């Protein structure tokens, strides 16, 4: 099978190192610094200090969302686009080849995303309650503290008082990460690992491991790893980044909307408690997930623009 050079014509290892440098400079350095700088204009206080203890600070919600959105937009969208277009001289439309039956494909992906989340809910609960062996207790304390801090920030960022706040949250927490993270981890990392190894499964799972690890939320590592792998296979089967981006958006948006509905007492379902769904629902949705995965694979296999290996 030929491997298209969508990202770079350089040796794959060099290209991967350049991508890592790009993500570090954009998402770790430039994006957060610029985000904090812009958000500070909308906050009366020491934003950098108050982010560490955001509880009981209702005026910090919008600055937090601004910081996150700018960091994601700059670090995971603008920097990677500049890298692909200006540095590597590649075309962005190549990541989004036109396809037939696009709306039907998106409907399938939406259904798959919802069944998948319920099917893996026991893994979510298991991972959240994972205990490390004694020699890793230091790491466990650090990981738990990091998880608690991230959970605290997430609760503050999702303190939506109105539908307008919910829409802003969907843009910041669902839409921008779906575009940026899929562009980087599937569009760039997965493609370059594929060029390096000529093995799609290694490429998908290594990219998914990096995708999960870079969130630094180790009590959600396994479910996020499986989500990353799902997005990777959807990209491979469909041949377009639109599909994993949409799947990623559906996953994030479902969580954001359910948090809003629960906090406003519109639904009793609380997605924040990380408790597994009842066993019968898990089993039903696991069966539906397998069936939908097979159907999605068959659907994209039959499309004339399908880019996957026809023997797979």
Give the C-alpha separation, 241 to 186, whole Å.
8
Reading the block at residue 40, the tokens are 């500070």
Q: Mind listing the pLDDT tens digit for each residue in 258-301? A: 999 998 889 888 888 888 999 999 999 999 999 999 999 999 98
Q: Above 60 in pLDDT, residue 205?
A: yes
Tens digit of pLDDT for each residue in 40-80?
A: 998 888 888 888 777 777 788 889 999 999 999 999 999 99
pLDDT band at 206, cuts 50/70/90? very high
Percent of the chain with pLDDT over 90: 69
Mind listing the pLDDT tens digit for each residue in 113-153?
999 999 999 999 999 998 888 888 898 898 888 888 888 88
pLDDT in tens, 246-260: 999 999 999 999 999
Say whether pLDDT at 307 is over 70.
no
**Average pLDDT score over residue span 198-217:** 94
| Residue 6 domain flag | no
The pair of three-digit structure tokens given for residue 33, joined into one six-digit string: 């610094």
pLDDT at 194: 96
How many structural domains is the chain composed of?
1
Q: Which residues contact residue 65 at a Cβ distance below 8 angstroms, ignoring those fewer than 6 apart?
A: 157, 168, 169, 172
- Within a domain: residue 310? no
pLDDT of residue 26: 96
The domain in which residue 104 lies consists of 12-301
Residue 69, pLDDT score: 95
Residue at 139 is within a domain: yes
Residues 6+ apart with CB under 8 A from 282: 118, 119, 121, 122, 276
Taking 80 as the threshold, does the pLDDT of residue 243 lie above it? yes
Could you count the other beta carbons within 10 Å of the beta carbon of residue 260? 21
Note the pLDDT tens digit of each residue in 150-186: 888 888 888 888 898 899 999 999 999 999 999 999 9
Query: Would 113 be classed as within a structural domain?
Result: yes
Answer for the pair 8, 196: CB distance below 8 angstroms, yes or no. no
pLDDT band of 209, cuts 50, 70, 90:
very high
pLDDT value of residue 306: 45
- What pLDDT is stored for residue 183 in this prediction? 98
Which of the four pLDDT bands, split at 50, 70 and 90, describes residue 312?
very low
In a 10 Å sphere around its CB, with 0-12 CB exposed, 13-18 middle and 19+ buried, how is residue 130 labelled? middle
Q: Which two tokens stand for residue 69?
A: 């959105």
Nearest CA among 103, 27, 39 for reference residue 65: 39
Entry field: residues in the chain: 312
* d(C-alpha 204, C-alpha 201), whole Å: 5
* Residues 312, 309: Cα–Cα separation, whole Å: 6
Locus of tokens 């994209």:
300
Structure tokens at 8: 């770079």
Q: Is the dihedral of CA 282, 288, 291, 297 positive or negative?
A: negative
Q: What angle do CA 157, 128, 225 make, to 5 degrees?
A: 85
End-to-end CA distance of the chain: 11
With respect to residue 191, please indicate whether it lies within any of the assigned structural domains. yes
Residue 242 lies in a domain: yes
Contact of 245 with 176, CB cutoff 8 Å: no
Position 3 scores a pLDDT of 53
Quick check: is 127 in a domain?
yes
Question: Is 171 part of a structural domain of the chain?
Answer: yes
d(CA 273, CA 275): 5
């Amino acid at each position: 099978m030929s491997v298209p050079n969508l990202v770079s014509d350089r040796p794959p290892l060099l290209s991967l190192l350049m991508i890592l440098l790009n993500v570090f400079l954009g998402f770790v350095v430039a994006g957060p610094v610029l985000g904090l700088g812009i958000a500070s204009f909308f906050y009366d206080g020491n934003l950098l200090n108050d982010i560490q203890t955001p509880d009981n600070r209702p005026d910090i919600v919008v600055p937090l969302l601004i910081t996150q959105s700018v960091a994601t937009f700059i670090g995971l969208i603008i920097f990677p686009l500049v890298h692909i277009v200006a540095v590597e001289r590649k075309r962005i439309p190549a990541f989004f080849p036109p396809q037939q039956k696009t709306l039907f494909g998106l409907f399938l992906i939406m259904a798959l995303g919802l069944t998948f989340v319920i099917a893996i809910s026991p893994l979510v609960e298991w991972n959240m309650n994972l205990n490390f062996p004694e020699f890793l207790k230091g790491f466990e304390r650090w990981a738990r503290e990091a998880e608690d801090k991230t959970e605290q920030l997430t609760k503050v960022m999702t303190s939506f008082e109105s539908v307008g706040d919910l829409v802003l949250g969907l843009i910041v927490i669902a839409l921008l990460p779906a575009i940026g993270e899929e562009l980087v981890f599937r569009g760039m990392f997965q493609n370059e690992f594929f060029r390096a190894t000529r093995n799609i499964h290694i490429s998908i799972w290594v990219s998914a491991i990096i995708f999960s690890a870079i969130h630094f939320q180790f009590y959600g590592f396994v479910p996020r790893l499986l989500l990353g792998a799902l997005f990777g296979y959807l990209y491979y089967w469909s041949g377009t980044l639109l599909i994993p981006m949409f799947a990623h958006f559906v996953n994030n948006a479902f969580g954001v909307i359910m948090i809003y509905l629960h906090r406003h007492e519109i639904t009793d379902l609380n997605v924040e408690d990380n408790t597994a769904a009842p066993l019968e629902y898990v089993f039903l949705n696991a069966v539906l997930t397998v069936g939908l995965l097979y159907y999605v694979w068959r659907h994209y296999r039959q499309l004339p623009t399908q880019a996957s290996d026809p023997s797979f």
